Amino acid sequence: MDGEDEVSGAAMLDDSSFPNGSVDPEAPPPPPPPSAMGGEQMDVEAYAGLYTGRSRVTRLLFIADRCGNETMQLEALRMAYDEIKKGEDSNIHRDVSAKIAGRLGPRYLFDQSWADMIDRRAELRKEKLENELNGYKTNLIKESIRMGYNDFGDFYYAHGQLGDAFKNYVRTRDYCTTSKHIIQMCLNVILVGIELGQFMHVSNYVSKAEQTPDSLDLVTVAKLRCAAGLAHLEAKKYKLAARKFIETGLELGNNYSEVIAPQDVATYGGLCALASFDRTELKKKVIDNINFRNFLELVPEVRELINDFYASRYASCLEYLEKLKPNLLLDIHLHDHVEALYTEIRHKAIIQYTHPFISVDLHTMADAFKTNVTGLEKELEALITENQIQARIDSHNKILYARHADQRNATFQRVLQSGIEFERDVKAMLLRANLIKHEHNQRGTRKL
């Protein structure tokens, strides 16, 4: 590295346009208002309002099990209790009542009379469904048999017996006579598969549904992309997950609230894209994507952190991420992936930060990433070892020096190698010509 390059690199470091420096003398616009998933503490009521049915209950119970705030925990349990009383699952009612343990007063104790009524009604309903299905099987009416198994699936799903619901929905497959029936069967299996956490089945039935494109309306296409995105997210295939969420159409609206909300599409898709897309993809597929931008408007924090990342405002980007983190850890699908996604996003930010410069002052860089120099050095060492950053660290002066390829030397090496290969080829041709000239042939050994 010559002296002129080092001087220019140092000059770049001192420039006021350095990332996180005072780029514009004008004050930045005020931050957007927090969404249900943003801010200091989650608005449990607003969050629960995004979902319906069992999804609302399971998400509320997940929050109650994971959050350390007793007030939030009791609020989640109270809302879950009220939602459960609208349904027919006496077992989950018993579990939630035990978790509340009388802390919300006599109104939220276990309601034995309600549970007995639900169980009696369930026995009668089950007996009726069994008689109807047996009659359908006797008469060998395919459509009636399909509806009978479907009704059984709905019955078991409502009562929280998800394994039995899954089996009955799958059994309708052999009795589907139209593409519409196949789509309905696939969506039912996908719904239960997501709740059971059996994402391999989810992927399989998404593919099966997509093989009947003539019967797919835009809402169904959006649902299938969300389901595929969740399956890829669970498998830690973040790039594939990002693509599915980003491709989800606005037709989704609130039509899939039993599984996912539009705000989730923005959050899951945005974070997966940040962790897996390169700079060009992020610009083209996320920031300039009008369709996905409408989803991002629902979660301003995610929209702003994506824009900050692309604009190299890393301090602001990381600040948004830290504010979102406590609430993301309470998300039933995302909680297991938060650390991995955050680590990947941070590493990409560090790589992107160092890429344009010949030398970087680690003190300045540490300030930009809200860390200390020692911690930053360890992160850089790991990235250099993994060959993600081509650089070396001056530990004494705390400077990172880029290892730019010596283009001149590389060109000489390529020319020299080409010369060696040319000389070898010419010698081989001359040898062959002389052998032919002197009629010197060697026959292969004959095999017996």
Q: What is the pLDDT of residues 250-305, one digit of tens each?
A: 999 999 999 999 999 999 999 999 999 988 899 999 999 999 999 999 999 999 99
pLDDT higher than 60, residue 32: no
Query: Which residues lie below 8 Å from residue 304, measured CB to CB, with a gap of 6+?
Result: 31, 32, 316, 320
Mean pLDDT, residues 197-220:
89
Mean pLDDT, residues 323-329:
92
Residue 203 in tokens: 């992927």
Q: For residue 376, give the amino acid letter.
A: L
Q: Given strand 399-402, what is the order of strands in its sheet?
A: 359-361, 399-402, 391-394
Distances in whole angstroms, Cα of residue 229 to Cα of each of 162, 196, 199: 22, 16, 10
127 compared with 40, residue with greater pLDDT: 127
Residues 424, 415: Cα–Cα separation, whole Å: 14
Q: What is the pLDDT of residues 386-407, one digit of tens each?
A: 777 777 777 777 777 776 545 5
The H or E element containing residue 399 is strand 399-402
Return the pLDDT at 222: 94
High-pLDDT (> 90) share of the chain, %: 55
Distance spanning both ends of the chain, measured CA to CA: 66
Residue 294 in tokens: 């409408």
Residues 250, 219: Cα–Cα separation, whole Å: 9
Residue 116 in tokens: 């007995």
Return the pLDDT at 372: 76
Tell me the sheet residues that pair with 360.
400
Mean pLDDT, residues 367-373:
76
Query: Which residues lie below 8 Å from residue 155, measured CB to CB, with a gap of 6+?
Result: 122, 125, 126, 129, 165
Secondary structure of residue 391 in the 3-state scheme: strand
Secondary structure of residue 206 in the 3-state scheme: helix
Residues 306, 300: Cα–Cα separation, whole Å: 10
Closest CA to 170 of 185, 192, 190: 185
The whole-chain average pLDDT of the chain stands at: 84
Q: Are 135 and 113 in contact (CB under 8 A)?
A: no
Return the pLDDT at 409: 67
In terms of phi and psi (left: phi > 0; alpha: psi -120 to 50; beta: otherwise), the region of 39 is left
Secondary structure of residue 434 in the 3-state scheme: helix
Q: Are 110 and 93 in contact (CB under 8 A)?
A: yes
- pLDDT band for position 29 (50/70/90)? very low
